[in-house]
Every structure is written in structure tokens, then in C-alpha cells.
Chain A
Amino acid sequence: MIQVMRDDPAVVDLVTRARAGDKAAWDLIVDRYAPLIWAVCRRHRLSGADAEDVGASVWLRLVENLGGLREPAALPGWLATTTRRECLFFLGQRDRQVPVEDLDLGSDSGPASDEMLLIQERRDALRQAFSGLPERCKRLLSMLFSEPPMRYAEISATLEMAVGAIGPNRQRCLDQLRRSRPLLNLDDAQPTGGSG
């Protein structure tokens, strides 16, 4: 089983502040990890009001356990595991005739779950890194990854940037993203490949 123990000082700081009763810190935790909880719900094929019920239960559990969380840096893993349990409990309540063991939903320690947590941690790090970029980089990259992608001529007109400068700027902004603290932290914590 892959252990992702990213020692993210930002998470530790947020948990510490929330423990002291700081509502703003709590809101930042929710903003940051709501996509993780949502993704786990979706993976269990829950959406809409069902997913919101599960999400509310997960956050209440975190409120209850905030003081006793032994490893604040492991919060993403704790949230993923708790959400999985709440999803299973919800599905068990809803479909009492179907034993939980018979539902093909993966287990807490399965490779699919670990991989999913890795992907979620990566996406969280990407969002954190993106939010720290200069405004011009954010605008340029947003236009480049939008669906459907904007044409260079359109980007050039919107950003008042020469078409020929878009490519170099794209590269520069992505380099800055790579060198950002959230992605460096993530890279340090990733297990290295088995075959070297």
C-alpha cells in the first residue's frame, strides 16, 4: 500500500488554526478538500442530494475529530477514508437488501483507492500551485486549458500579447508552476519508481 505522507505545512497550519476555533481556516480546509470528497462520492456513484448528505456527514466527523487528529498532514487520506466509509454506510442504508460486501466498490486498501488518492493529492497540489501564480499566467493558462481551447488569435487579442509570445509565455508559466512550493512538496513525497 502506498503511503502518501506529504508534509504540507499549509495543511498543518490550517488544522492548527481551525482547532483554535478559526472559522476562516476551516473554510479554507473545506474549499480545498471539497473536490476530494466530491470525487470519492462520484466514484461511489453518488451525486446530488445523496452526495451532499454524505459530504455533510464527513465534515461533521472532521469537526468531531479535529482535536484528536494525530497527523494533520495526513488529512487528505483521512478524508478519503472517512468519505469512503460514509458512502458505504449510505449505500447500505439505502439498499438494505444488498449486503455491503456484495457491492463492487473497492476496498479501503485496494490499489485503485491508493491511486485515486495520489491523483487527488496531485490535483489539490496543482490547484494550490495555480492559485499562487501571477494573474497574467493564470489568465493565459486558463485560456489554454479551457474546453474548447481558445484560439491563439483570440488569446492574443484578449491578453494584448503577440501571438508569437504565447508559446514562450506558456512555457514560462508552466515552469513557474513546477517550481512552486505545492508541486515541489508533492514531488518530494512521491514514492520513487520500483524499477528505478
Chain B
Amino acid sequence: MDDSWLSDDDQLLAELGAAMAEAQQVPDTFVQSGKSAFTWYGVDSELAALVSDSAAAATAPAALGMRSERPVQRSLTFATAELTIELDVHVDAVRGQVTPPRSGTVQVRGAAGVERSVDIDDLGWFVIKPVPVGAYRLSVRLDDGPSALTDWISE
């Protein structure tokens, strides 16, 4: 192995400069998405399974002619042994409620990691506005309580 890059002052300085310049070329967003990937660590152990989905049923709310200012496009329910997540997908937002009702956080995760994070209020309600684009999963973490990761949700 040629070690002149290390023994020669000029070569060492040039190599050091190249190493530092290379690191500076890496976009911040590239680094940030790597850091946010860690939020997936260990979450696969609490998968919330899809219990019901109005898109799979013939009697979706919209099909019954129910009209309101914010018609529900689709209703989904996910559950683990410890908690239930009910979602109503509207045109403008996804509105959800977690049972047992407790405050916490919901993260919207796309293929590349966490896209958004919203608070769950004391009654277990949360609003994701606007509706996520593309396929996503929700990671729910209740304060001092259980957490869950839903199956993938797509249109």
C-alpha cells in the first residue's frame, strides 16, 4: 500500500481538503432523512392491524347519500391489543380518534420516513391536514402509554 498520502505533508493536506469538501457537498436534506429514519427503530413490534375499511364495503357512507359539509370519503379502523385507532378520511383532512383517549403524538410516515407529526389531544382526537399524498402509515404514541404502527394506507 502506498502510504505517501499520509507521510507527505502536501499530499496529506490535499487529501484532508478533499475529505472535508466531500462531506460539505452532502445535502442537509440527505442527512436529515437519515436521522429521521431512526423513528422506525423498534416500532415494528406493535403493528396495528386493519380491522375494518369502508372502501372494502359496499355500504360506504358516501354511497348511502349522507351529505354534510365534510363528507367522509372513507372510514378505517386499526387495532392492537392495547389501543384502537379510528380514521375518517375527508377531502381536506384525515380526522382520527384513539381509544383509550389520551394525549400523545401521531407521525405520518411515507416511504422515506416521517413526513409530519401532529398532536393527539386529551380526548384522543387528532387531525392530519391536508390528507397525506401517496401511501403512508401512522405511528401513534400515547403519553405514558402504548404505541402502535398501522398497516400501510393508500388511496
Query: Which A residues fall within an 8 A CB radius of B?
Result: 18, 21, 23, 26-27, 30-31, 34-35, 37-39, 51-53, 55-57, 59-60, 62-64, 66, 122-124, 126-127, 130, 141-142, 144-147, 170-171, 174, 177-178, 183, 187, 190-193
Contact of B118 with A by CB under 8 A: no
Residues of A contacting B112 with CB < 8 Å?
52-53, 56
Number of residues of chain B lying within 8 A (CB) of chain A: 36
Are the C-beta atoms of B6 and A178 separated by less than 8 Å?
Answer: yes
Are the C-beta atoms of A122 and B15 separated by less than 8 Å?
Answer: yes
Residues of B contacting A63 with CB < 8 Å?
37-38, 40-41
Contact of B67 with A by CB under 8 A: no
Q: Give the A-B pair count, Cβ closer than 8 A.
A: 112
User: Which residues of B (1-28) have their CB < 8 Å from a CB of A?
Assistant: 1-3, 5-6, 9, 12-23, 25-27
Are the C-beta atoms of A52 and B27 separated by less than 8 Å?
Answer: yes
CA gap between A52 and B111 in the complex, in Å:
12
Q: A39-B22, A55-B34, A66-B41 are in contact. List 6 more A-B contacts (CB 8 A).
A: A38-B26, A59-B34, A122-B5, A123-B18, A127-B19, A191-B1
Residues of A contacting B38 with CB < 8 Å?
18, 23, 26-27, 63
User: Which residues of B (131-155) have their CB < 8 Å from a CB of A?
Assistant: none
Question: Which residue among A37, A123, A146, A192 has the maximum number of chain B CB atoms within 10 Å of its CB?
Answer: A123
Closest A residue to B26 using CB positions: A38
CA gap between A41 and B40 in the complex, in Å:
23
CA gap between A68 and B37 in the complex, in Å:
17
Contact of B33 with A by CB under 8 A: yes
Are the C-beta atoms of A60 and B23 separated by less than 8 Å?
Answer: no
Are the C-beta atoms of B9 and A171 separated by less than 8 Å?
Answer: yes
User: Which residues of B (38-69) have their CB < 8 Å from a CB of A?
Assistant: 38, 40-42, 44
Are the C-beta atoms of B33 and A56 separated by less than 8 Å?
Answer: yes
Contact A35 B26, CB 8 Å, known A127-B20, A147-B17, A191-B1: yes
Nearest-CB distance from B139 to chain A (Å)? 13
CA gap between A30 and B26 in the complex, in Å:
12
Are the C-beta atoms of B1 and A193 separated by less than 8 Å?
Answer: yes
Query: Which B residues fall within an 8 A CB radius of A?
Result: 1-3, 5-6, 9, 12-23, 25-27, 29-31, 33-35, 37-38, 40-42, 44, 111-113
Closest A residue to B40 using CB positions: A63
Are the C-beta atoms of A177 and B16 separated by less than 8 Å?
Answer: yes
28 contacts between A and B (CB under 8 A): A18-B38, A34-B23, A34-B30, A34-B34, A35-B26, A38-B25, A38-B30, A51-B30, A52-B29, A53-B111, A55-B30, A56-B111, A56-B112, A60-B37, A62-B37, A63-B41, A122-B5, A123-B23, A126-B20, A141-B16, A142-B20, A145-B17, A147-B17, A170-B13, A187-B3, A187-B6, A192-B1, A193-B2
Closest B residue to A26 using CB positions: B38
Picked from B16, B31, B35, B111, the residue with its CB within 8 Å of the CB of A130 is B16
CA gap between A112 and B113 in the complex, in Å:
32
CA gap between A60 and B124 in the complex, in Å:
29
Nearest-CB distance from A146 to chain B (Å)? 8
Are the C-beta atoms of B42 and A21 separated by less than 8 Å?
Answer: yes
